[in-house]
Amino acid sequence: MQQQSVQLGDTAATQDLGRQLALDWLAFPQPKPILLLEGDLGAGKTSLVQGIAQGLGIDEPITSPTFALAQHYQGQAGALVHLDLYRLEHSASADELFCQEEEEAQALSALMAVEWPGRLSFRPEEAWILHLDLLDPDDPDAGRLARLEH
């Protein structure tokens, strides 16, 4: 498994990384990987997904699906299934939702981005794992470190 790290100075840099990930994902052969997004609250997971959406040619606003749990988007270059497992305290519930949305993502040939994958009782095989960590937890504007494992 390869690991790459990059320091992101602001939200725009986080979105730029998301756009690049979308382009890399589009060029990846089948079966395409799921993207697991790890990081504390406010680490920039949703900002990264906004960049992914831009890379897929999605024009509508991207918000965190914390309450909806899942959002589906269609863009000019590809589709996106955005899943947020934060509110699911029981792994069985997270597993069930994940499996349903994974099936839908496959049917749509969509990039599936999963926030809070630690709620699952398993780690999806061949997933890309992106860790986002604030450089200074007391100052979110100080930037973040992104580490991608694939």
pTM of the model: 0.92
Residue 115 is inside which H or E element, if any? strand 110-115
Radius of gyration of the chain (CA): 14
pLDDT in tens, 47-85: 999 999 999 999 999 988 777 899 999 999 999 999 999
SS3 of the chain: helix, strand, coil, percent, to 5: 35, 25, 40
CATH number reported for the structural domain that contains residue 128 in this entry? 3.40.50.300
Q: What is the pLDDT of residues 82-117, one digit of tens each?
A: 999 999 989 999 999 999 999 999 999 999 999 999
User: Residue 84 is part of which domain span?
Assistant: 3-149
E strands, the chain, are 3-8, 35-38, 70-74, 79-84, 110-115, 128-134, 144-149
Overall domain count for the chain: 1
